[in-house]
A and B are shown apart, each in its own frame.
Chain A
Amino acid sequence: MAGVQLAEVGKAYGAVTVIERLSLDIPAGEFMVFLGPSGCGKSTLLRMIAGLETIDGGTIRIGERRVDTLPPGERGVAMVFQHYALYPHLSVRENMAFGLRNLRVPAAEIAARIAAAAASLEIEALLERKPGQLSGGQRQRVAIARAIVKQPELFLLDEPLSNLDAALRVRTRLELAQLHRRLGTTMIFVTHDQVEAMTLADRIVVLNAGGIEQVGTPMEIYLRPRTQFVATFVGSPRINLLPVAIEEGPAGSARARLGDGTMLDTAIRFAGLPQGAMTLGLRAETVCVTAGDDAATHGTAEVVERLGERTLVHTLLSDGSRLVAEDAGVSAVRPGDRIGLTIDAAAAHLFDATGLGHHRAETA
Chain B
Amino acid sequence: MPSVAVEPAAAFTVPVPRGRGRQDWRSALFVAPYLLVFVAMLVVPLAMGMWLSTTKGDLFGTERWVGLANFVRLFGDAIFLKAVANTFYFVLLTVPFLTLAGLGLALVLNRQERWAAVLRTIFFASTVLSVTVVTLVWRLVFLPDGGLLGVTAEALGKTPIAFLNDERLAMPAIAVTTIWWCIGLPMVLFLAALQQVPRDLYEAAALDNASRWTTLTRITLPAIKRTFFLVIIIEVILQFQLFGQPQLMTLGGPNNSTRPIVLFIYEAGWRQWELGYAAAAAQVLFAMILIAAMVQYRLSSGKEAA
Which residue of B203, B218, B223, B225 is within 8 Å of A98 (Cβ)? B218
| A52 adjacent to B206 (CB under 8 Å) | yes
Residues of B within 8 A of A103 (CB): 209
Does B198 interact with chain A (Cβ within 8 Å)?
Answer: yes
Give the complex CA separation of A78 and B205 in angstroms: 11
Residues of A within 8 A of B210 (CB): 73, 98-99, 102
| A73 adjacent to B206 (CB under 8 Å) | yes
| A85 adjacent to B201 (CB under 8 Å) | yes
List the A residue with the shortest CB-CB distance to B225.
Answer: A89
| A98 adjacent to B208 (CB under 8 Å) | yes
| B204 adjacent to A83 (CB under 8 Å) | no
Give the complex CA separation of A73 and B200 in angstroms: 14
List the B residue with the shortest CB-CB distance to A90.
Answer: B218
Does A329 interact with chain B (Cβ within 8 Å)?
Answer: no
- Shortest C-beta distance, A97 to chain B (Å), equals 10
Give the complex CA separation of A320 and B111 in angstroms: 57
Residues of A within 8 A of B152 (CB): none
Does A81 interact with chain B (Cβ within 8 Å)?
Answer: yes
Residues of B within 8 A of A313 (CB): none
- Shortest C-beta distance, B302 to chain A (Å), equals 15
Give the complex CA separation of A73 and B204 in angstroms: 9
**Which B residues, 217 to 235, have Cβ-Cβ distances below 8 Å to chain A?**
218-219, 222-223, 225
Give the complex CA separation of A87 and B206 in angstroms: 13
Q: Is the interface of B mostly helix, strand, loop or mixed?
A: helix
Does A77 interact with chain B (Cβ within 8 Å)?
Answer: yes
Question: Number of B residues whose C-beta is below 8 Å from A?
Answer: 18
Does B301 interact with chain A (Cβ within 8 Å)?
Answer: no
Residues of A within 8 A of B207 (CB): 50-52, 72-73, 77-79, 99
| A89 adjacent to B222 (CB under 8 Å) | yes
Does A261 interact with chain B (Cβ within 8 Å)?
Answer: no
Of B207, B209, B219, which is in contact with the most chain A CB atoms at under 10 Å from its CB?
B207
Give the complex CA separation of A106 and B44 in angstroms: 64
Residues of B within 8 A of A86 (CB): 204
- Shortest C-beta distance, B112 to chain A (Å), equals 12
| A83 adjacent to B198 (CB under 8 Å) | yes
| A81 adjacent to B200 (CB under 8 Å) | yes
| A85 adjacent to B206 (CB under 8 Å) | no
- Shortest C-beta distance, B271 to chain A (Å), equals 52
- Shortest C-beta distance, B301 to chain A (Å), equals 15
List the B residue with the shortest CB-CB distance to A47.
Answer: B203
Residues of A within 8 A of B203 (CB): 50, 52, 72, 79, 81, 85
Give the complex CA separation of A264 and B223 in angstroms: 65
| B204 adjacent to A102 (CB under 8 Å) | no
| A71 adjacent to B223 (CB under 8 Å) | no
| A102 adjacent to B201 (CB under 8 Å) | no
| B219 adjacent to A87 (CB under 8 Å) | yes
| B206 adjacent to A72 (CB under 8 Å) | yes
Does B3 interact with chain A (Cβ within 8 Å)?
Answer: no
Does A88 interact with chain B (Cβ within 8 Å)?
Answer: yes
Which residue of A51, A85, A87 is within 8 Å of B218 (Cβ)? A87
In addition to A87-B201, A88-B223, 10 A-B residue pairs with Cβ atoms within 8 Å of each other are A50-B203, A52-B206, A52-B207, A72-B203, A73-B207, A79-B204, A82-B200, A89-B222, A102-B208, A102-B209
Question: What 6 pairs between A and B have smallest CB-CB spacing?
Answer: A99-B208, A73-B209, A85-B200, A89-B222, A102-B209, A85-B204
**Which residues of A come within 8 Å of B, CB atoms?**
50-52, 71-74, 77-79, 81-83, 85-90, 98-99, 102-103, 150
